[in-house]
A and B are shown apart, each in its own frame.
Chain A
Amino acid sequence: DQQVKQNSPSLSVQEGRISILNCDYTNSMFDYFLWYKKYPAEGPTFLISISSIKDKNEDGRFTVFLNKSAKHLSLHIVPSQPGDSAVYFCAASAGAGGTSYGKLTFGQGTILTVHP
Protein backbone atom coordinates (compact mmCIF):
# COMPACT_ATOMS: atom_id res chain seq x y z
CA ASP A 1 0.00 0.00 0.00
CA GLN A 2 2.02 2.93 -1.35
CA GLN A 3 0.46 6.00 0.26
CA VAL A 4 2.96 8.40 -1.33
CA LYS A 5 3.92 7.88 -4.94
CA GLN A 6 6.47 9.46 -7.20
CA ASN A 7 5.66 8.04 -10.59
CA SER A 8 8.70 9.39 -12.44
CA PRO A 9 11.84 7.42 -11.51
CA SER A 10 14.05 9.95 -13.27
CA LEU A 11 14.07 13.43 -14.80
CA SER A 12 16.70 15.04 -17.00
CA VAL A 13 16.85 18.83 -17.35
CA GLN A 14 19.16 21.36 -18.95
CA GLU A 15 20.96 23.82 -16.70
CA GLY A 16 19.00 27.06 -16.30
CA ARG A 17 15.65 25.44 -17.10
CA ILE A 18 12.85 24.55 -14.72
CA SER A 19 12.74 21.16 -13.00
CA ILE A 20 9.29 19.93 -11.95
CA LEU A 21 9.06 16.90 -9.69
CA ASN A 22 5.68 15.40 -8.92
CA CYS A 23 4.19 13.46 -6.05
CA ASP A 24 0.76 11.96 -5.37
CA TYR A 25 -0.67 10.76 -2.09
CA THR A 26 -3.72 8.79 -1.04
CA ASN A 27 -4.05 9.29 2.72
CA SER A 28 -6.41 12.18 3.52
CA MET A 29 -4.96 12.35 7.05
CA PHE A 30 -1.65 13.74 5.76
CA ASP A 31 -1.40 17.38 6.79
CA TYR A 32 2.28 18.18 6.32
CA PHE A 33 4.40 17.58 3.26
CA LEU A 34 8.11 17.77 2.70
CA TRP A 35 10.77 17.34 0.05
CA TYR A 36 14.14 15.83 0.86
CA LYS A 37 17.23 15.69 -1.33
CA LYS A 38 19.70 12.83 -1.16
CA TYR A 39 23.22 12.58 -2.55
CA PRO A 40 24.98 9.19 -2.83
CA ALA A 41 26.43 7.90 0.45
CA GLU A 42 24.65 10.60 2.44
CA GLY A 43 21.41 10.72 4.38
CA PRO A 44 18.42 12.69 3.10
CA THR A 45 18.60 16.46 3.62
CA PHE A 46 15.51 18.59 4.23
CA LEU A 47 14.73 20.92 1.36
CA ILE A 48 11.32 22.53 1.78
CA SER A 49 7.95 21.82 3.39
CA ILE A 50 4.33 22.87 3.19
CA SER A 51 1.42 22.62 5.58
CA SER A 52 -1.97 21.47 4.31
CA ILE A 53 -3.46 24.89 5.07
CA LYS A 54 -1.33 26.42 2.32
CA ASP A 55 -1.12 25.81 -1.41
CA LYS A 56 2.32 27.26 -2.07
CA ASN A 57 5.59 27.74 -0.25
CA GLU A 58 8.68 29.33 -1.71
CA ASP A 59 12.30 29.28 -0.61
CA GLY A 60 14.79 30.78 -3.04
CA ARG A 61 14.91 28.67 -6.20
CA PHE A 62 12.57 26.06 -4.70
CA THR A 63 8.77 26.25 -4.67
CA VAL A 64 6.39 23.56 -3.50
CA PHE A 65 2.77 23.54 -4.67
CA LEU A 66 0.01 21.58 -2.96
CA ASN A 67 -3.30 20.66 -4.58
CA LYS A 68 -5.32 19.03 -1.82
CA SER A 69 -8.34 18.21 -3.94
CA ALA A 70 -6.14 16.27 -6.33
CA LYS A 71 -3.91 14.94 -3.54
CA HIS A 72 -0.93 16.13 -5.52
CA LEU A 73 2.16 18.15 -4.78
CA SER A 74 5.02 19.30 -6.91
CA LEU A 75 8.47 20.79 -6.45
CA HIS A 76 9.69 23.43 -8.88
CA ILE A 77 13.37 24.29 -9.12
CA VAL A 78 14.13 27.44 -11.08
CA PRO A 79 16.74 27.82 -12.45
CA SER A 80 18.12 24.31 -12.24
CA GLN A 81 21.83 23.92 -11.55
CA PRO A 82 24.14 20.90 -12.00
CA GLY A 83 24.58 20.78 -8.20
CA ASP A 84 20.86 20.02 -7.92
CA SER A 85 21.50 16.59 -9.42
CA ALA A 86 20.39 14.15 -6.69
CA VAL A 87 17.54 11.88 -5.67
CA TYR A 88 14.49 13.83 -4.53
CA PHE A 89 12.03 12.28 -2.08
CA CYS A 90 8.55 13.49 -1.38
CA ALA A 91 7.33 12.75 2.16
CA ALA A 92 4.14 13.25 4.13
CA SER A 93 3.13 13.24 7.76
CA ALA A 94 -0.16 13.00 9.65
CA GLY A 95 1.01 14.68 12.83
CA ALA A 96 -2.33 16.24 13.65
CA GLY A 97 -3.65 12.72 14.14
CA GLY A 98 -1.70 12.45 17.38
CA THR A 99 1.50 10.91 16.11
CA SER A 100 4.80 12.66 15.57
CA TYR A 101 5.41 14.97 12.63
CA GLY A 102 8.70 13.18 12.32
CA LYS A 103 6.93 9.96 11.36
CA LEU A 104 7.21 10.38 7.62
CA THR A 105 5.87 8.34 4.73
CA PHE A 106 8.22 8.67 1.78
CA GLY A 107 7.75 8.22 -1.94
CA GLN A 108 10.11 6.09 -3.99
CA GLY A 109 12.22 9.02 -5.14
CA THR A 110 13.00 10.72 -8.45
CA ILE A 111 16.55 10.93 -9.76
CA LEU A 112 17.12 14.44 -11.10
CA THR A 113 19.99 15.02 -13.49
CA VAL A 114 20.80 18.60 -14.50
CA HIS A 115 23.06 18.80 -17.55
CA PRO A 116 25.46 21.74 -17.97
Chain B
Amino acid sequence: DTGVSQNPRHKITKRGQNVTFRCDPISEHNRLYWYRQTLGQGPEFLTYFQNEAQLEKSRLLSDRFSAERPKGSFSTLEIQRTEQGDSAMYLCASSLDRGAAFLKEKLFFGSGTQLSVL
Protein backbone atom coordinates (compact mmCIF):
# COMPACT_ATOMS: atom_id res chain seq x y z
CA ASP B 1 0.00 0.00 0.00
CA THR B 2 1.80 3.06 -1.26
CA GLY B 3 -0.98 5.51 -0.54
CA VAL B 4 -2.58 7.99 -2.90
CA SER B 5 -0.12 9.32 -5.47
CA GLN B 6 -0.49 12.61 -7.33
CA ASN B 7 1.57 13.93 -10.21
CA PRO B 8 3.02 16.38 -10.80
CA ARG B 9 3.66 17.85 -7.34
CA HIS B 10 4.00 21.33 -8.79
CA LYS B 11 2.82 22.89 -12.02
CA ILE B 12 3.50 26.40 -13.26
CA THR B 13 1.64 27.50 -16.35
CA LYS B 14 0.72 30.63 -18.22
CA ARG B 15 -2.81 31.92 -18.31
CA GLY B 16 -4.78 30.38 -21.15
CA GLN B 17 -2.83 27.11 -21.23
CA ASN B 18 -4.35 23.70 -20.53
CA VAL B 19 -3.08 21.55 -17.68
CA THR B 20 -3.73 17.95 -16.64
CA PHE B 21 -3.14 16.33 -13.27
CA ARG B 22 -3.06 12.64 -12.47
CA CYS B 23 -4.13 10.75 -9.37
CA ASP B 24 -3.42 7.12 -8.58
CA PRO B 25 -5.63 5.96 -5.69
CA ILE B 26 -5.02 3.15 -3.23
CA SER B 27 -5.46 0.07 -5.37
CA GLU B 28 -8.53 -1.52 -3.77
CA HIS B 29 -10.40 1.76 -3.31
CA ASN B 30 -13.50 2.16 -5.47
CA ARG B 31 -14.16 5.84 -4.76
CA LEU B 32 -12.00 8.73 -5.84
CA TYR B 33 -12.45 12.40 -4.94
CA TRP B 34 -11.01 15.68 -6.15
CA TYR B 35 -10.76 18.67 -3.83
CA ARG B 36 -9.25 22.12 -4.26
CA GLN B 37 -7.56 24.15 -1.52
CA THR B 38 -6.63 27.80 -1.69
CA LEU B 39 -4.38 29.65 0.75
CA GLY B 40 -5.90 30.05 4.19
CA GLN B 41 -8.93 27.91 3.40
CA GLY B 42 -9.89 24.31 3.89
CA PRO B 43 -10.23 21.89 0.97
CA GLU B 44 -13.36 22.30 -1.16
CA PHE B 45 -15.12 19.37 -2.80
CA LEU B 46 -15.01 19.33 -6.60
CA THR B 47 -16.20 15.91 -7.77
CA TYR B 48 -16.14 12.21 -7.04
CA PHE B 49 -16.21 8.86 -8.82
CA GLN B 50 -17.59 5.47 -7.89
CA ASN B 51 -15.42 3.17 -9.99
CA GLU B 52 -15.50 4.81 -13.46
CA ALA B 53 -18.79 6.68 -12.97
CA GLN B 54 -18.67 10.36 -12.04
CA LEU B 55 -21.49 10.62 -9.50
CA GLU B 56 -21.42 14.20 -8.34
CA LYS B 57 -19.91 17.52 -9.39
CA SER B 58 -19.72 20.72 -7.41
CA ARG B 59 -20.91 23.99 -8.92
CA LEU B 60 -17.30 25.07 -8.37
CA LEU B 61 -16.40 22.81 -11.29
CA SER B 62 -16.87 25.13 -14.26
CA ASP B 63 -17.08 23.84 -17.81
CA ARG B 64 -13.34 24.45 -18.15
CA PHE B 65 -12.75 21.59 -15.73
CA SER B 66 -13.15 17.96 -16.69
CA ALA B 67 -12.34 14.84 -14.70
CA GLU B 68 -12.17 11.26 -15.85
CA ARG B 69 -11.53 7.92 -14.29
CA PRO B 70 -11.23 5.41 -17.13
CA LYS B 71 -11.52 1.77 -16.08
CA GLY B 72 -12.08 2.86 -12.49
CA SER B 73 -8.39 3.08 -11.67
CA PHE B 74 -6.37 6.32 -11.96
CA SER B 75 -8.05 9.66 -12.55
CA THR B 76 -7.14 12.81 -14.45
CA LEU B 77 -8.29 16.36 -13.85
CA GLU B 78 -7.91 18.73 -16.80
CA ILE B 79 -8.29 22.48 -16.67
CA GLN B 80 -8.67 24.22 -20.02
CA ARG B 81 -7.80 27.87 -20.64
CA THR B 82 -6.40 28.33 -17.16
CA GLU B 83 -7.06 31.55 -15.27
CA GLN B 84 -5.13 33.08 -12.39
CA GLY B 85 -8.02 32.22 -10.09
CA ASP B 86 -7.34 28.53 -10.76
CA SER B 87 -4.11 28.77 -8.77
CA ALA B 88 -4.57 26.37 -5.86
CA MET B 89 -3.59 23.02 -4.40
CA TYR B 90 -5.54 20.22 -6.09
CA LEU B 91 -6.01 17.27 -3.76
CA CYS B 92 -7.07 13.77 -4.65
CA ALA B 93 -8.47 11.32 -2.14
CA SER B 94 -9.66 7.75 -2.32
CA SER B 95 -11.83 5.53 -0.15
CA LEU B 96 -13.42 2.12 0.02
CA ASP B 97 -17.20 2.17 -0.10
CA ARG B 98 -18.47 -1.13 1.25
CA GLY B 99 -22.04 -0.51 0.25
CA ALA B 100 -23.55 0.14 3.67
CA ALA B 101 -24.28 3.71 4.70
CA PHE B 102 -23.43 3.06 8.34
CA LEU B 103 -19.90 2.02 7.36
CA LYS B 104 -18.82 5.57 6.81
CA GLU B 105 -15.94 5.71 4.40
CA LYS B 106 -12.61 7.20 5.39
CA LEU B 107 -10.79 9.39 2.88
CA PHE B 108 -7.07 9.00 2.28
CA PHE B 109 -5.57 12.08 0.68
CA GLY B 110 -2.59 12.44 -1.61
CA SER B 111 -0.02 15.21 -1.17
CA GLY B 112 -1.64 17.30 -3.88
CA THR B 113 -0.60 19.17 -7.02
CA GLN B 114 0.20 22.84 -6.50
CA LEU B 115 -0.89 24.83 -9.54
CA SER B 116 0.40 28.33 -10.18
CA VAL B 117 -1.09 30.26 -13.10
CA LEU B 118 1.00 33.25 -14.14
CB of B65 within 8 Å of the partner chain? no
Question: Which of B4, B43, B55, B106 has a CB less than 8 Å from the CB of A89?
Answer: B43
Stretch at the interface among A43-51, A66-74, A76-84: A43-51
B67 within 8 A of A: no
What is the CA–CA distance of A43 and B94 in the complex, to the nearest angstrom?
12
Q: Please count how many residues in chain A sit with their CB below 8 Å of the partner chain's CB atoms.
A: 27
CA distance A46 to B14 in the complex (A): 34
Partner-contacting stretch, out of A14-22, A54-62, A98-106? A98-106
Closest CB in chain A relative to B107 CB, distance in Å = 5
A86 to chain B, nearest CB (A): 14
For B91, give its contact among A43, A101, A107, A108 (CB under 8 Å): A43
Tell whether, in the assembled complex, residue A95 and residue B101 are in contact, meaning their CB atoms are under 8 Å apart. yes
Contact of B43 among A44, A93, A95, A100 (CB under 8 A): A44
Whether the pair B104, A51 counts as a contact (CB closer than 8 A) is: yes
Inter-chain CA distance A49–B103, complex, in Å, is 12
B80 to chain A, nearest CB (A): 24
| Residue B26 interfacial (CB < 8 Å) | no
Most buried by A among B4, B35, B45, B55: B45
Q: Which residue of B lies closest to A9 (CB)?
A: B40
Q: How far is the CB of B22 from chain A (nearest CB, A)?
A: 15
Closest 5 CB pairs of A and B: A106-B42, A43-B109, A101-B104, A44-B109, A89-B42
